[in-house]
Structure 1
């Protein structure tokens, strides 16, 4: 895993996960695997691996049309709750936070910077 404060994940949220997977897979030679913990929770989430990579670098989230299509980057942090508090102190805002998303899933939050740009922060699940 990377160091806290580094760009560590990205997510493409889409109402057309099959089409999105086909596009990016063909364009960049990426491969995709179903995320087990997400699937167990009823989500269509597909981990993305670059050609020859050992670990996933991002994911496709099938929204079922319940959210607008978007892409977001995630920064690894040591403490999601503390990072949310720090962001608010610095003029940002918390869109949503998920501190206990379930077994095998990371704690994460969506934040906005003072200009309104959305991004995510996460802490990996305990081993």
Structure 2
């Protein structure tokens, strides 16, 4: 979290899958505004600069995600460097709600305002 205020910080890149990209592969967006929720157990970020056509397809075609990071010495030991959007791949960490599940929950919540919604895994 604090690393995002360091002088050498770069925005984490958004990419499709964990496959090592070929040299020159474009980022499809960036993760910004990192923050903690759920008593510090959940890392949340905003996805920015995603092409609109891809953004609409994310919940169905890329329903899961996985972070990529590096460990370093110093005050900011772990740095988030990327977020992989997973389509056919399964995430290594279980227990997270898929984007598809969150989109369905958000849609249901709009029709039933008493039901909690959000983009946070519980």
Asked if Structure 1 and Structure 2 have the same fold, meaning a TM-score greater than 0.5 normalized by the shorter chain, the answer is no
- Give the TM-score normalised by the residue count of structure 1: 0.28
Larger radius of gyration: 2
Q: Identify, as 1 or 2, the structure richer in strand.
A: 1
